[in-house]
Amino acid sequence: MFEQLSDRLQKAIKFLKGEGKITEKNMGEALKMIRMALLEADVNFKVVKDLEARIKVKALDQAVLDSLTPGQQVVKIVRDELAEVLGTTEKPLLFAGSPPSIFMLVGLQGSGKTTTCGKVARWARAQGRNPLLVSFDLKRPAAQDQLRIIAGRLELPFYGMTADRMSDPAGALRDLVRETRNRGHDLLIVDTAGRLHVDDELMSELKLIKDILAPAETIYVGDALTGQDAVKSALAFAQRIGLTSVILTKLDGDARGGAALSIVSVTGAPIKFVGVGEGLDKLEVFHPERMASRILGMGDILSLIEKAEAGADRAESEELVRRIRRQEFTLDDFKKQLGQLKKMGSLEGLLGHLPSAGPLKALGQAKIDDRKVLHFEAIISSMTPGERADPRLINGSRRLRIARGSGRPVSEVNQLLRQFMEMRKMIKKSAFRQILSSFRSN
């Protein structure tokens, strides 16, 4: 996501940096490039107009014009204004003062509401909450079963709702809240019905549910791939029933970014999470300032570090550090690191957090096949314990046997061994430098 927008905005920034001095004329040219980039990314016209006006006022301020690095000052202004459009800073989901807190998810059919209910439940459990899942979607066939299956995969309880129970909606909803409290759940996550378009029947139904449940959060789930359609429907939901938060799904797809860059300004509801994949663990806290940096090619190292920390096994990491210090890094250790890497998500997605300028530019823009990790794991698994401990034992005939055992060509076996040996050399050099530095400090 944002690739096309990011490329075009970076061209505008590069143009400004190439100018020796910021003037009203070259700033106008840069703003035109920024405006076209945003409009082509399907950003709401009013949002683009306001953003452009704010950037222009700040960029042509005398303090910026007189600075030694006006180009860099303008980059900071554009970044800050993009972050402002996206919501300034991350905002947490709100919980009620007394349990149970109720999260009500709304949106159009096909936006990923039901799966997002499961993702939010998984996130809430990791925060120490005890969620209960319920679906009020009685129109879509198998909607109840879909959420029940998701709850089962998460090993979380599910409360079944039937048409008979909903014949008295007010009574059914009050029974649900009472049951939630009696079971000791401090969070109720409510999936609601959707339609292919906004209509009065849907809004009346959702308004009734909201009025009775009084949720702590009314969350609009929007499909980022639908661009301005997601913004228009979000605005309709905001005006008819009121929204407190937004979760954008499918941000790992080919969305142009218009929804993310418009929805906060248009609805007044902050984006709090984004869906970055189909798995129930593919939900990320939305950081506006980090996203603004990524759009401008500055990378998002903080999010990358957080992913690494979340995916890492602390005990294994500490043992690996000890083995590296003793220069005992083996192919078994390498395989374990590949497994940790898989937990962090797709390699291309991880590298997308790196800056697209400077020394990491080539790495950040690399296209990497995630299957390569699986292939390397298969190759290492086809080796004997002795070969994994000492790759120097692997001669031509052994390489052929390993290739046959893993189902990969000999060239890939050679590639793996070559990369592993280079990595081990780097580790040895690093350890040697540490020893030298310890002598110098003494």
pTM (predicted TM-score): 0.68
pLDDT reading at 353 higher than 50: no
Whether residue 93 lies inside any domain: the answer is: no
pLDDT digits (tens, 9 = 90+) for 86-118: 888 889 999 998 999 999 999 998 889 999 999
Whether residue 17 lies inside any domain: the answer is: yes
Whether residue 222 lies inside any domain: the answer is: yes
**What pLDDT was estimated at residue 64?**
66
Query: In the listed set 298, 313, 340, which residue is the last one of a domain according to the structure?
Result: 298
Average pLDDT estimate for 204-215: 91
Is residue 202 located within the same domain as residue 277?
yes
CATH for 45: 1.20.120.140
Q: How confident is the model at residue 72 (pLDDT cuts 50, 70, 90)?
A: confident
Tokens standing for residue 346: 């797709």
Indicate the residue type of 81: E
pLDDT reading at 315 higher than 70: no
Whether residue 96 lies inside any domain: the answer is: no
CATH for 157: 3.40.50.300
Average pLDDT estimate for 23-42: 86
Distance CA 214, CA 227 (A): 30
Whether residue 421 lies inside any domain: the answer is: yes
Is residue 239 located within the same domain as residue 321?
no
Whether residue 92 lies inside any domain: the answer is: no
Tokens standing for residue 12: 């505008």
Is residue 120 located within the same domain as residue 204?
yes
Whether residue 252 lies inside any domain: the answer is: yes
Query: In the listed set 298, 326, 359, which residue is the last one of a domain according to the structure?
Result: 298
Is residue 383 located within the same domain as residue 400?
yes
Is residue 78 located within the same domain as residue 107?
no
* 142 C-beta neighbours (distance < 10 Å), count: 11
Is residue 205 located within the same domain as residue 345?
no
pLDDT higher at 4 or 305: 4
For the chain, the domain total comes to: 3
Percent of the chain with pLDDT over 70: 77
Distance CA 370, CA 353 (A): 16
The parent domain of residue 32 ranges over 3-86
**What pLDDT was estimated at residue 362?**
40
pLDDT higher at 251 or 158: 158
Is residue 114 located within the same domain as residue 151?
yes
Tokens standing for residue 133: 């899942």
**What pLDDT was estimated at residue 411?**
93
Whether residue 227 lies inside any domain: the answer is: yes
pLDDT digits (tens, 9 = 90+) for 232-263: 899 999 999 999 999 999 877 655 667 778 88
| Ordered DSSP codes for 166-187 | GGSHHHHHHHHHHHHHHTT-SE
Is residue 125 located within the same domain as residue 268?
yes
Is residue 154 located within the same domain as residue 223?
yes
**What pLDDT was estimated at residue 66?**
64
First to last CA, the chain: 51
Q: How confident is the model at residue 21 (pLDDT cuts 50, 70, 90)?
A: confident
Is residue 63 located within the same domain as residue 122?
no
Is residue 272 located within the same domain as residue 311?
no
pLDDT reading at 82 higher than 70: yes
pLDDT digits (tens, 9 = 90+) for 259-277: 778 888 889 999 999 998 8
107 with 222: CB under 8 angstroms? yes
Distance CA 185, CA 100 (A): 6
Contacts 24+ apart (CB under 8 A), 371-376: 372/347, 373/338, 373/341, 373/342, 373/347, 375/406, 375/408, 375/412, 376/335, 376/338, 376/412, 376/416
pLDDT digits (tens, 9 = 90+) for 355-384: 544 444 443 444 456 678 889 889 999 999
Query: In the listed set 255, 281, 298, which residue is the last one of a domain according to the structure?
Result: 298
What 3-state class would DSSP assign to 372? helix
pLDDT reading at 222 higher than 50: yes
Is residue 339 located within the same domain as residue 262?
no
CATH for 344: 1.10.260.30
**What pLDDT was estimated at residue 319?**
62
